[in-house]
Structure 1
Amino acid sequence: MIWAVVPAAGSGSRFQGELPKQYQKVAGRAVLEHCLWRLGSHRQIVGVAVALSPDDQRFAQLQMPPGLQIRSAVGGDQRADSVLAALQALPDEVDAAQAVLVHDAARPCVSLEMLDRLLVHAGSADGALLAVPCHDTLKQIDPGEASPRSLATAERSQYWLAQTPQLFPRGALSAALIAARERGLSVTDEAMAMELRGARPHLVMGSTSNRKLTVADD
């Protein structure tokens, strides 16, 4: 049986809405609610630990999937802090070697088929993540320029776009996130933290439908 972690403490500043993006309504439900129902509909997922903002007053109003165990934790300013807090909130029976899913609170369209493909790697020490090959042409820029100009073109065949859920052993992921924090590194996903410790996570085919809501146009 698998537990999932959902970092949902962010303010969604890039979304530029009155509500954090995880509480925006899509098809009558909050985005976070969709995520929980998607996870809860998988036969192997028994519970979710959600990291919330200290002043969150909306989570308790969500309709939770029946039979899914829910735990909450107070998240931090950075994604890694929230993931760590949620990992610490998991029940004791989830030991260090147990695989744990980490899923974005603003990625409501993950399918059961994607979860099935990912969970094949539940026994891997290196872990795994959903991702899709990059089909667009990638341009390198100088981030210091006021008006971006193309400096070079990357070889797109070498790049995949990371998605979630990502799947790693609880103990190894916790250690990797703590190590990155101690080095003053800001990791943008869990796979990055694991890579810094020498892991080579498996890339599992996701889908363009499994998109993350980042800006209002999404």
Structure 2
Amino acid sequence: MIPSYTAVVPAAGIGSRMAADRPKQYLPLGDSTVLEHTLLGLLKHDTIGTIVVAIAEHDAWFNNLAIARHPRIITVSGGKERADSVLNALQQVATEWVLVHDAARPCLHPADLAAVMVAGQQAQGAILACRVRDTMKRGNGLGAIASSVPREELWHALTPQCFATTTLRQALTDALACGASITDEASAMEWAGFNPALVEGRADNIKITRPEDLALAQFFLKQTVDSCQL
């Protein structure tokens, strides 16, 4: 199969909420690291030709990983913010379509990856997302509730997010030039006037943010391995 996608993995963040001695993407997760699990999940899909990993300028960990020498993985220098890192990586993307996936989401299911690829080509791009299940509250800035927020049509944005490469590159370039607040790739596309599709994904596609997330991710990864062995 001819590769038609490139995956971009912004991995220049420091993950300060983990209070660890290294960025969260390099923390141990089972016999590997968070980032290695993330990259392996993408490498398993044969339509992804190259993975571009954006790392911090003085990253002291990536080149020590065995996966850093994989022939389908290249690196670029990350930027100050996520959007800067992604834009730097996009300069190395030659395929028509690109996937952007968080470095700290190691539990991506193959079916979700395939679904967002299909939806991205059929719409104005697409993202994996989960419906909000809990009652939502808006704070008043003083540690108390200001109001309840209806959860209908509220979604948690996940990754990967899939877009046409040239369109995403232009949207990010223009948004950053105008000083827009860009929290993910979809927000840049929204700023540019597009309406990316929502692809309902699995709730176990968690992002490692706090120390307790590591044990949960390990549990989810074990469930995936066990199901594949049945």
Aligned to 1:9: 12
- Are residues 1:109 and 2:134 paired? no
Contact 1:3/1:48 (8 A) holds in 2: yes
Give the Cα separation in 2 of the matches to 1:38 and 1:45: 11
After TM superposition, which residue ranges in structure 1, 4 or more long, deviate above 6 angstroms? none
Instruction: Report the residue type matching 1:109 in the other structure.
Output: C
Give the Cα separation in 2 of the matches to 1:85 and 1:38: 22
Aligned to 2:190: 195
Question: Which of these residues, 28, 42, 47, is aligned with residue 44 of structure 1?
Answer: 47
Contact 2:120/2:197 (8 A) holds in 1: no
Instruction: Report the residue type matching 2:177 in the other structure.
Output: E
Aligned to 1:173: 168
Aligned to 2:66: 63
CA RMSD of aligned residues (A): 1.5
- Give, in angstroms, the shift of residue 67 of structure 1: 6.6
Gapped runs of 5+ residues in structure 1? none
Contact 1:103/1:166 (8 A) holds in 2: yes
Give the Cα separation in 2 of the matches to 1:198 and 1:20: 34
Matches within 5 A, 1:47-126: 47-64=50-67, 69-90=72-93, 93-94=94-95, 98-124=96-122, 126=124
SS in 1 for 2:63: helix
- Are residues 1:134 and 2:124 paired? no
- Are residues 1:28 and 2:31 paired? yes
Aligned to 2:224: none
Any idea what the Cα deviations from partners look like across 1:24-53, whole Å, max 9, x if unmatched?
A: 111111111111100001121121000000
Aligned to 1:164: 159
Pick closer, same or farther for the CA change 1:5–1:211 going to 2, 3 Å: same
Identical pairs, percent: 42
Using the size of structure 1 for normalisation, the TM-score is 0.92
Give the Cα separation in 1 of the matches to 2:171 and 2:87: 10
Pick closer, same or farther for the CA change 1:65–1:119 going to 2, 3 Å: farther
SS in 2 for 1:19: coil
Higher helix share: 2
Contact 1:125/1:169 (8 A) holds in 2: no
Using the size of structure 2 for normalisation, the TM-score is 0.87
SS in 1 for 2:121: coil
- Give, in angstroms, the shift of residue 125 of structure 1: 5.6
Contact 1:52/1:75 (8 A) holds in 2: yes
For this pair of structures, how many residues does the alignment match? 210
Give the Cα separation in 2 of the matches to 1:210 and 1:83: 20
Give the Cα separation in 2 of the matches to 1:124 and 1:86: 24
